[in-house]
Amino acid sequence: MAGHLSKLVSFQLSRPQSDKDEPRVGRLTFKGRSPIDTPHYVAVSSRGAVPHLSQDMMRDNTSIRALYTAVEDSSSYWSPQVIEKSSHQSQVPPAFNFPASPDESPLRKFIALQKDVLLILGTRRIPPLPCAASSTSSAISIITSLGFGMLEYTDYAEAIQKLRPDIALGMGDVLFGHKPGVKRKEAMGDRTLAWLKELISAMENEEDGTPRTALFAPILPIETEQQTYYLHALQDELKDSVSGLVLYDSASVDAIPESLRGLPRLSLGDATSPHKLLDAMALGIDAFTVPFITDATDAGIALDFSFPAHSDTNLEKRLSLGIDMWSSTFVNDVSPLLTDCECYTCKNHHRAFVQHLLNAKEMLGWVLLQLHNHHIVDGFFAGARNSIHNGSFKGDRAMFKKTYAALPAKTGQGPRVRGYQFRSEGKGGPRKNPIAYRPLDDGNKELAKVILPSPDDDAENLEQQRFPEKVK
């Protein structure tokens, strides 16, 4: 029975890495799902959905072929961890018992994910927040809707067995937010190995013997020498049970043992801009989570780039990678976000409308931007695959760097930021959101601040009108 997990996924490289600084093109196939041509991105979900997009929009208007979900996220629905903390000892996470036929994943049904999209389950959100507590020999520290918690590897294994994602990522002992010391690095390899072995034995001992979930093994973001023991075990003992590799830092590709180089590589960490994506592709990464898509959308930015870049030798300065749609210059602009864009938003709406929606804080504004931004990234990846295939990637990448500068800075206000998954700005820092309701309860001066954000406005005057009895 050992080793059958790896047979669920097949990965063919149509253009393998010829050189160290050369990307590769391949095709990832999972039974029952649409094949994924790589390099490709993996959509990042929040509470099981791609932010701002409904399932039908995602199906009809994006090329999303794979979705990442985290146990840490929405843990009350699909992780046993939170249940233990609460008083309902006997309660089972709802997603565990969600009605699904034997060949379906209850998690897929629970989040209403279309059938042909690959479902990937990992431990932590992307990007993860640093946790105050450190991991133990059996658990990693996570941040859930109920606060800090520990995710035991046994609970994670149970979640995988019950939820049956297509691909589960091994639980890596990885620190976020600060660098591990030497002792800690040794423990990282040992723990990750022990957890991986436990996970494999749990998954290979399914009651009916039918594997449904494939496993991607972590490559740790530390020096190769410091994870040698782990990497050897991966290569010698566990090779047949592993279908792919997950990296937290694209530079860790160097640590991948020779015999595992043919496996698909998913990078979770560092693709924070199109430039970084190209760098990671050049290292031979096949799949990426790309948080900057939703970040740009939240900031009201319409992405504006293509790969290969339309070469213009007369370029005076490098172009911005996006347009800030909050800008009042678009108030009367009835052209599409981008002239040649074929996305739903650009074919049906204009800049003035999107600018208005953002300023009115209408959710549709972010929906339309999210559709456009996914379309731009879809085109970017399709262009990159073509370019690698044609052997022109090196030149195209250099041209892209010459043509484009950075993503524009955020100017407007995004959608209201809520939830445990957002980092607070620290002591004395700005609030995530201005106070909105408390002033209505006690009618103090805060109210004036909310209604009159400009210091030039006559706050006292207004307060006097509203609460004459309180103002002397």
Q: What dihedral angle (degrees, nearest 10) is formed by the CA atoms of 372, 299, 123, 106?
A: -50
Least Cβ distance, residue 337 to Zn ion (angstroms): 5
DSSP helix/strand/coil, 274: helix
User: With CB under 5 A as the contact rule, which of the stretches 67-75, 77-85, 342-350, 448-456 interacts with Zn ion?
Assistant: 342-350
How far lies 85's CA from each of 20, 96, 98, 157, in Å?
48, 17, 22, 18
Q: Please choose, from the candidates 277, 313, 345, 195, the residue with its C-alpha nearest in 3D space to the C-alpha of residue 23.
A: 277
CB 369, min distance to Zn ion, A: 9
Minimum gap (Å) between residue 294 Cβ and Zn ion: 16
Residue 343 touches Zn ion, criterion: CB under 5 A:
yes
Give the total of residues touching Zn ion (CB under 5 A): 6
Please identify which residue in 64, 290, 346, 447 interacts with Zn ion, judged by CB under 5 A: 346
Beta carbon nearer to Zn ion, 119 or 368:
368
Nearer to Zn ion, 105 or 355 (CB): 355
**C-alpha span between 284 and 286 (Å, rounded):** 6
Which of residues 199 and 346 has its CB atom nearest to Zn ion in the complex? 346
User: Residue 192 in contact with residue 171, Cβ under 8 Å?
Assistant: yes
Q: Is 210 helix (H, G, I), strand (E, B) or coil?
A: coil
Minimum Å gap between C-beta 308 and Zn ion is 19
Closest approach of Zn ion to the CB of residue 375, in Å: 5
Q: Applying CB under 5 A, which part among 248-256, 257-265, 333-341, 445-453 lies near Zn ion? A: 333-341
42, 68 Cβ separation under 8 angstroms: yes
Minimum CB separation from Zn ion for residue 345, in Å?
Answer: 5
Applying CB under 5 A, among 143, 325, 341, 368 the residue interacting with Zn ion is 341
**Does residue 71 belong to the site contacting Zn ion (CB under 5 A)?**
no
Q: Which stretch binds Zn ion (CB under 5 A): 91-99, 251-259, 341-349, 442-450?
A: 341-349
Q: At CA 453, angle to CA 449 and CA 458, rounded to 5?
A: 75
Shortest distance (Å) from residue 339 CB to Zn ion: 10
Q: Which residues of 35-57 are buried (b: 16+ CB within 10 A; e: fewer)?
A: ebbbbbbbbbbbbbbbbbbeeeb
Q: Cα separation of 80 and 155, whole Å?
A: 6
| Only segment of 35-43, 157-165, 195-203, 343-351 that touches Zn ion (CB under 5 A) | 343-351
Q: Which among 15-23, 126-134, 334-342, 398-406 is the span making contact with Zn ion, rule CB under 5 A?
A: 334-342
Q: How many Å apart are CA 168 and CA 161, to the nearest integer?
A: 10
Alpha helices in 36-152 (DSSP H): 55-61, 75-78, 80-85, 106-110
Based on CB atoms, which residue is closest to Zn ion, 188 or 323?
Answer: 323
CB of 296 to Zn ion, least distance (A): 13
What residues numbered 251-280 form the site for Zn ion, per CB under 5 A? none
DSSP label at 172?
-
Residue 40 assigned to a binding site: no
Cis ω on the peptide bond leading into residue 336 (within 30° of 0)?
Answer: no
Q: How far is CA 433 from CA 144, 417, 437, in A?
A: 20, 7, 11
374 is an annotated ligand-binding site residue: no
Stretch that binds Zn ion, among 52-60, 161-169, 305-313, 337-345 (CB under 5 A): 337-345
Instruction: Check if the beta carbon of residue 311 is closer than 8 Å to that of residue 399.
Output: yes
* CB nearer Zn ion, residue 28 or residue 346: 346
By beta-carbon proximity to Zn ion, the closer residue of 28 and 341 is 341
In this structure, how many other beta carbons lie within 10 angstroms of the beta carbon of residue 1? 9
Structure tokens at 174: 């990885």
**In angstroms, how far apart are the furthest CA atoms of the chain?**
82
Q: Which of residues 226-245 bind Zn ion (CB under 5 A)?
A: none
Q: Which is nearer to Zn ion, 70 or 337 (CB)?
A: 337
Q: Is 389 annotated as a binding residue?
A: no
Task: Give the residue with the Cβ less far from Zn ion, 265 or 372.
Answer: 372
Near Zn ion in 355-394, by CB under 5 A: 372
Amino acid at 4: H
The smaller minimum CB distance to Zn ion, of residues 124 and 372, is found at 372
Q: Is 372 annotated as a binding residue?
A: yes
Supply the minimum distance, in Å, between the C-beta of residue 410 and Zn ion: 20
Binding-site annotation, residues for Zn(2+): 341, 343, 346, 372
Binding site for Zn ion (CB under 5 A): 337, 341, 343, 345-346, 372
